[in-house]
Structure 1
Amino acid sequence: MRNVGGDYVTEAVAGCVEALRPAVARDWTEVTAAGLDWTVHETAAHVADDLVEYAANLAGRAEDSYFPFELKLLDEGSGNAGVLSVIEATGALLAAAVRTAPREARAFHPYPFRSANREGFAAMGVAEVLLHTFDIAGALDLPYEPPSHLPEFVLTRLFPHVQPGADHWRTLLWATGRGELPGRPSVTEWRWNNNLVHTAERLTLQGITPAAARDLVMGGDGGFLWLEGGPFEGTREAASFLLKAYEGGVHRPEFGVFALVRTEDGRAVGGMGFHGIPDEEGRVEIGYDLVESARGNGYATEALQALADWASAREDVTTLFATIDRDNLPSQAVVTRAGFRRVSEDEEGLAYELPL
C-alpha cells in the first residue's frame, strides 16, 4: 500500500485555496465560520496552526506532548491572500514530513491513544483542511466539495467506528456533526481515532485500519513491510472480518486486528487480534498467526501476553479464550505459555481460556 498521505495533504490544501481565493477581498474578521465560534480569519489561521504543529510533531518525533513552542503564524493585519499563502506553506511542511518519515515513525497526538504514525498525521491534516474549508466556505457562500477519495482517506484512517456510506463526503460531514444522513441520528459529540499500538519487548502490535484491511484483503501488504512469506493467510482472513465489521458499522478498533511488527527492523512477522467485542459476560475470543520463517522465536507468546495485559486492565473484559486445532501443537504451546488453560474440546478443536 503506497504512502499517499503527503500527496493528499497537498491536494487538500490546493482545493482549500482554490475554493476560498474568490473571497479574499472580503473582511474575514467580521464573518463567523459556519457552525463555529471563530471568525473566518481565525478558522483559517487555526488550519495553518494545526498543519505546522502536525509537521513539527511528526518530524521531531514528539513523545509525550506537543513541542513547547508557539509560532506567530500571521502578522497583525495580514491580508486574506497572505493567510492562504501561510496555509499553502504549512501544508507543504506537513506533506514533506509525511513523505520523509520512516514507516515506523510515531509521534504524539492526544486523540485517543496518544500517538499517530505518518498516515495518521496526514489524515488529521487532510481532515482539518477539508472540514474547516467547509466551515469557511459556508460562511462566505462559496461552493466547496472535495474529491471523494480525500474524505474516504480520512474515514478509513481516523473513523474506523463509523459505518461507511455511499457518499464519503456526506458521511464525514455527518460524523463530525456538520450534516445529516438518512437513517442515522444526529452527531453532537465526536472524536477521531488514530490506530492503537501496544508495545511488547521485541514487537509493537500495530492496529490495522480499515484502509489497511482492505489492502490486505485485495492481496496487498496493508502498508507493512513483511518478513519473507508474509502476510500469512490467517492475517488476510482476519482483515476480511475486520472489513466486514467496519462496513457493518460494528467495528471497534480496540478489539480489532494488530500487525506484529519486529522492533529491530520494522518487519511485520504476523497478525493477532480479537474476533469482535466482548460479550455480555466479558468473554472475547482471540486468534493469531505468524509468517512461517518467524515461528519458533516466541513472538506469538510475547504478543499474546501484551494483549492479555491490556485486556486485564479493562472493566469490560473478564476472559480471553481461543480455539485451536488438535494437531496444532505449537499454537497450543503458545497459549499455555501465556497462562491459558484448556477447558474443553469438541469437533471444532480445543478450547483454552484465560480468566482476567
Structure 2
Amino acid sequence: MRTLGGEQVEEAVADAVALLRTATDRDWETASSGRLEWSCRYVAEHIAGVLLAYAGQLAGRATETWVPFEMTLDEGTGNEDVLHVVETAGALLAATLRTTPREVRAYHPYPFRSADREGFAAMGITEVFLHTHDIAEVLGLSYEPPAERCADLLARIFPHVRPDTDPWRTLLWATGRGDLPGRAPVTEWRWRNNLVIPAERLTLQGLTPAAATDLAAGGDGGFAWVDGGPFQGTRDAAGMLVKAYETGVHRPVWGVFVLVRREDGRAVGGIGFHGVPDESGRVEIGYDLAEAARGNGYATEGLRALSAWALARETVTSVRATTEPENTASQAVITRAGFVRITGDGAEGGEGAGQFLYELRG
C-alpha cells in the first residue's frame, strides 16, 4: 500500500518552500492569510512549529500531553530564513518518522488522544498543504498539491468524509476552506486518527479506509501478519468498509479492527462491527483469526475488549454475535467472552434463521 512517512513529508515541504520562495520579497507581516486572519509570516512560522511539535511527540514518546516546548525565531528573521526553518522542521519530522517503530503511538488530542507515525506524517503533510494554500491565496500564487497524496490524507485522517472526484477540493472543503456541490459548508473540523483499544496481550487497531483498501486488494494493510494471515474474513470485512467509505456511510468507530499482538507487533486477526447500533441499541460483532494464531485465546480476548468498549457507549444496550450451528469453536469463544445464547424464531435472528445468536448486555 502507499505509505505516508519521511519521504512524503520532505516532498510536501520541498514543493511548498519552492513556491513560497518566489514571493519572499513581498510583505508577509501585514498580509492576512485567508480565513485564518493570520499574517502570512505567522502562518509560515506555524507550519514550522507544528512539524517540530509532531517530531517532538514521537521522539519524546509523549503519551499524556504535549512535550512542553515551543519554537521561537530570532528577532529580525526574514521571510527566506523562515522558510529555512520550515525546511529544517520538516527534515526533523522526516528523520523521526524513519526511526520510529510502527507500534509507537504518541499523544495527540483528536479524537482518541494518540496517533502513530503514519498519523503524524499525515497530519504534518496536511498542515503543509493547507497552510501553503492559505499563504498562496493571499499572495496570488497558484498552488495545488498532488491529487493522489490528497486522497491518501483523506483516507487516513478524514475517514468520515465521503471521497470525491477531486481530492484536493474535497480536502479544502473538509477543513472549511472551500465548497463542494451538494455538501453543506464545514464550519468546524478535527483530525480523526484511528481508534486503538487496549487489551491484555493485544491491541485492537482501527482500520483506516486506506489500509482497508489495501487489505481488500490482497495486501497486508500496512500490518506485519503472522504466517497465513490475514484470514479471508478480514479481507471481506475490509472490502465492506471500503464500500461504506466510498458511499459516505462509514463510521470509523463502528468499523473494523486488526488484532495486533503486543509482544511482537504481529497482526493475528480481525474483529469489527457489522454496522452502527440499531434503534434499540443493539450492535453485532464478527471476528476471525489467522490459522497460525488460533488456540491461544486471542479471539476471546479481542471479543471481550471490543464488547466492553461498545457497552460503555450510551447508545449501546447489547452486543450480539452469530455463528453457524456446526462451528463449535466459535461458540466456545463467544461463551467464554460472557455471551448468552438466545433462542427465538427467524425474525429474531436465532436458530430459526439458520444460525445461533448470542448476546451480551450491559
Partner of 2:131: helix, strand, or coil? helix
> Structure 1 stretch 338-347 or stretch 140-149: which is displaced more?
338-347
Q: Does 1:354 align with 2:335?
A: no
Amino acid at match of 1:64: E
Residue number in structure 2 paired with 1:207: 206
* Structure 2: gaps spanning 5 or more residues: 343-349
Amino acid at match of 1:249: G
| Aligned 8 A contact 2:107 2:114 in 1 | yes
Dislocated runs of 4+, deviation >3 Å = 1-4
d(CA) in 1 for partners of 2:354, 2:28: 66
* 1:46-100 superposed Cα distances (whole Å, 9 cap, x missing partner): 110000000111122111011122232x212211111111111111111111122
Amino acid at match of 1:97: T
d(CA) in 2 for partners of 1:276, 1:347: 19
d(CA) in 2 for partners of 1:326, 1:17: 62
What is the TM-score when the length of structure 2 is the normalising length?
0.96
| Aligned 8 A contact 1:164 1:246 in 2 | yes
Q: Displacement, 1:19?
A: 1.7
* Structure 1: gaps spanning 5 or more residues: none
Q: Displacement, 1:309?
A: 1.3
| Aligned 8 A contact 2:48 2:89 in 1 | yes
d(CA) in 2 for partners of 1:174, 1:4: 22
d(CA) in 1 for partners of 2:251, 2:320: 18
Residue number in structure 1 paired with 2:22: 22
Counterpart mapping for 1:1-356 below 5 A: 1=1, 3-72=3-72, 74-343=73-342, 344-356=350-362
Partner of 1:144: helix, strand, or coil? coil
d(CA) in 1 for partners of 2:154, 2:230: 24
Q: Displacement, 1:319?
A: 1.2
Q: Displacement, 1:154?
A: 1.1
Partner of 1:273: helix, strand, or coil? strand
Percent identity for Structure 1 against Structure 2: 64
Residue number in structure 1 paired with 2:347: none
The 1:150–1:3 alpha-carbon spacing in structure 2 relative to 1, beyond 3 Å, is closer
| Aligned 8 A contact 1:12 1:150 in 2 | no
Partner of 1:86: helix, strand, or coil? helix
| Aligned 8 A contact 2:13 2:86 in 1 | yes
d(CA) in 2 for partners of 1:270, 1:262: 10
| Aligned 8 A contact 1:3 1:99 in 2 | no
| Aligned 8 A contact 1:137 1:143 in 2 | yes
Amino acid at match of 1:225: A
d(CA) in 2 for partners of 1:327, 1:102: 42
Partner of 2:189: helix, strand, or coil? coil
Q: Displacement, 1:327?
A: 1.1
| Aligned 8 A contact 1:203 1:261 in 2 | yes
What is the TM-score when the length of structure 1 is the normalising length?
0.98
Q: Displacement, 1:348?
A: 3.5
Partner of 1:11: helix, strand, or coil? helix
Q: Displacement, 1:2?
A: 5.6
d(CA) in 1 for partners of 2:288, 2:255: 15
d(CA) in 2 for partners of 1:348, 1:188: 48
d(CA) in 2 for partners of 1:94, 1:275: 37
